Amino acid sequence: MTVAAPRVTYLNHEHTVASWLLTKDHKRIGIMYLLVVTFAFFLGGLFASMIRIELATPAGDLVSADTYNKLFTMHGVAMVFFVLIPAVPAILGNFVLPLQLGAKDVAFPKLNLLSWYVFVIGFLFTVYAMVSGGVDTGWTFYTPYSSRASNTIVVATGLGVFITGFSSILTGLNFMVTIHRMRAPGLTWFRLPLFVWAIYATSLVQILGTPVIAITTLALAIERFLHFGIFDPVLGGDPVLFQHMFWFYSHPAVYIMILPPMGAISEVIAAFSRKSIFGYSFVAFSSLAIAVFGFLVWAHHLFVSGISVYSALVFSLLTYAVAIPSAVKTFNWAATMYRGAIWLKAPMIWAIAFLGLFLVGGLTGLFTAALGVDVHIHDTYFVVAHFHFIMVGGAIMGYFAGLHYWWPKITGKMYSDIWAKVAAIIVFVGFNLTFGPQFILGYLGMPRRYHVYPPEFQVLNVLSSAGASILAVGYILIAIYLVASIFWGEEAGDNPWHATGLEWTTQSPPLPHNFATQPVVTEDAYEYSKREIKVV
């Protein structure tokens, strides 16, 4: 590895606080998102560990019922709105998208900075609500409990979610215009890396879905604050209308959470199989199919909420249709590894762990979409296990695979490969031990959000709590060796993984304006077989 001369990078060309807080550089904004999201992740993780400790015993002996209700609500709000939705698009997307497009920056740099501030203001609203008493409505804020019965700080949390939603809208808008208007010469749509396709599909969902939850939380805040009566059953309103409007966004939101990590996984698996992705256009169009079909299925969250039997049939069928593109992606990833030159470095281990967990998450979706079974398992721990397998097993694992893949490009430093693999295994084992037993608990009928539960469920809950502690160790380990790599890591060089993609053609960490000369693209993505790899 040649020792790089002290070069100008986006990190060292300015050091003042203002150069960070007023930066318009997409790379720095990505890192600022990384800091806030990591803080929110450990905050949510803290709530989760308290929940798991509480549930180790059937009786409610660690915290009171109210506190427990606030714990799972804030765990949900912190994780959904402040970790899962921004994680890959705002951190990895912000950093990598312009680089992969060969652009100097996103289309609207000032808007990008505004998005970060809007995100932080929304986060502060929610932290204010947490600090001064917390909210206990569940992250779904169902009325009439949230609008009439709850005496906690619902309005502030609702406004926090409302404000943060605009950060997601503006980021989606920014990325979509960037992808349409700022691609490098020669970079046609079918030469784009699949991460860009995934970010494009996510932006589409962010733009079309987020406004609906904005109006829903606004209506809820106004109904509670000014006693308007939109969802109030006493006046003849319909609480199920709130659920329709809430889930119209919140189901596509889970595709906002899973699509970008899927894009990252496509990059990692192609890079470490040293082979072009299998069925490129199918994987690309399955992202778009997921984004569009994602809007047709929301009422599978309402199967037992009294919606009509016929609409339940319609939504159940559409839910099965939306499962197919995810299956296609998974099979294509597996097929990519066939006759590849698989280099089992840390990102690849994380990607394979993602495949294992996301597979279980996706397949258990078939149970919740099946009407006959869903009546029994709705609002039980089966559903909790399903969405954790997708969110934590899928989105968070995909995020970490992407983070480990692009870390050398972001920091210019290489982390310890051994520790990264150890962490991946610990997280994989801890995760399965935490959420595996919850499938059985769910089918046995243990309802979710229970502070106290019948004694016969204790053994499985203790297993789950044990798994949670292992999972916590795994996540802390990641933070340790990644931060350590910044100070003591060796220089990573411009293309440590010998991967394709414009982001690897520039130096790491990149120049303030990304590329010395405007890159021109001449070949398709992931053309490993065609190029002979020059050892730098």
Please report, as residue ranges, which positions from 217 to 236 form the binding site for another protein (by CB under 8 A).
Answer: 219, 222-223, 226-230, 232-236
| Residue from the set 4, 42, 443, 466 that interacts with another protein by CB under 8 A | 443
Q: Which residues pair with 380 in a beta bridge?
A: 447
* Among residues 56, 173, 422, 484, the one that binds another protein under rule CB under 8 A: 173
Q: Which residues contact 116 (CB under 8 A, 6 or more apart)?
A: 29, 32, 33, 36, 90, 167
> Contacting another protein (CB under 8 A), which of 157, 174, 287, 416?
174
Least separation, in Å, of the C-beta of 237 and another protein? 6
> Segment contacting another protein (CB under 8 A): 36-44, 104-112, 387-395, 473-481?
104-112
Task: Please give the distance of CA 501 from its chain centroid, rounded to a whole number.
Answer: 23
Among positions 131, 309, 455, 516, the unique one binding another protein when judged by CB under 8 A:
309
Show contacts with another protein in window 246-305 (CB under 8 A).
248, 273-276, 278-282, 295-296, 298-299, 302, 304-305
What's the rounded Cα separation, in Å, for the pair 246 and 335?
A: 37
Selected binder of another protein within 8, 35, 124, 180 (CB under 8 A)? 180
Task: Considering the complex, state which of residue 88 and residue 107 has its C-beta at the smaller distance from another protein.
Answer: 107
Binding marks (x or -) toward another protein, 477..516, rule CB under 8 A? --------------------xx--------------x---
Least distance in Å: CB of 378 to another protein? 6
Contact yes or no for 17/29 (Cβ under 8 A): no
DSSP state of 514: B
Query: Residue 51 corresponds to which tokens in the numbers above?
Result: 């929940």
455 lies in the binding site for another protein (CB under 8 A): no
Q: Which stretch binds another protein (CB under 8 A): 80-88, 398-406, 425-433, 453-461?
A: 453-461
Per-residue x/- mask for another protein, residues 339 to 378, rule CB under 8 A? xxxxxx---x---x--xx--xx--xx-xx-xxxxxxxx-x
Q: Which of 140, 199, 213, 164 is CA-nearest to residue 33?
A: 164
| Binding segment (CB under 8 A) for another protein, from list 12-20, 123-131, 175-183, 422-430 | 175-183
Binder among 86, 209, 260, 398 for another protein (CB under 8 A): 209
Residue of 20, 39, 128, 145 that binds another protein (CB under 8 A): 145
Cβ distance 371 to 313 under 8 Å?
yes
**Cβ 88 vs Cβ 79: under 8 Å:** no
Q: Which runs of E-coded beta strand occur in 207-287?
A: none
Shortest distance in whole angstroms from residue 352 CB to another protein: 6
Answer left, alpha or beta for residue 495, where phi above 0 means left and psi between -120 and 50 means alpha.
beta
Residue 56 in contact with another protein, rule: CB under 8 A: no
Residue 108 lies near another protein (rule: CB under 8 A) = yes
Among 210, 416, 438, 465, binds another protein (CB under 8 A): 210
Q: Are 430 and 471 in contact (CB under 8 A)?
A: yes
φ and ψ at residue 491, rounded to 5 degrees? -65, 135
Task: Confirm or reject binding of residue 214 to another protein (CB under 8 A).
Answer: yes
Can residue 244 be called a binding residue for another protein (CB under 8 A)? yes
CA nearest to 121, candidates 163, 75, 79, 83: 163
Instruction: Write phi, then psi, for 513 (nearest 5 degrees).
Output: -110, 35
Residue 148 in the binding site for another protein (CB under 8 A): yes
Rule CB under 8 A: is residue 451 a binding residue for another protein? yes
CA separation (Å) from 284 to 3, 205, 221, 324? Answer: 38, 15, 39, 14
> Whole-angstrom Cα distance, residue 135 to residue 131?
10
- The tokens for 286 are 């399955």
Residues composing the chain? 536
Residues 375-434 that bind another protein (CB under 8 A): 375-376, 378-380
Distance CA 536, CA 1 (A): 8
For 480, other C-beta atoms within 10 Å of its C-beta total: 13
* 529 counts as binding another protein under rule CB under 8 A: yes
To which residue do tokens 């495949």 refer? Answer: 355
2-10, 40-48, 86-94, 523-531 -> range binding another protein (CB under 8 A): 523-531
Tell me if 436 contacts another protein by CB under 8 A: no
| Interaction of residue 241 with another protein, rule CB under 8 A | yes
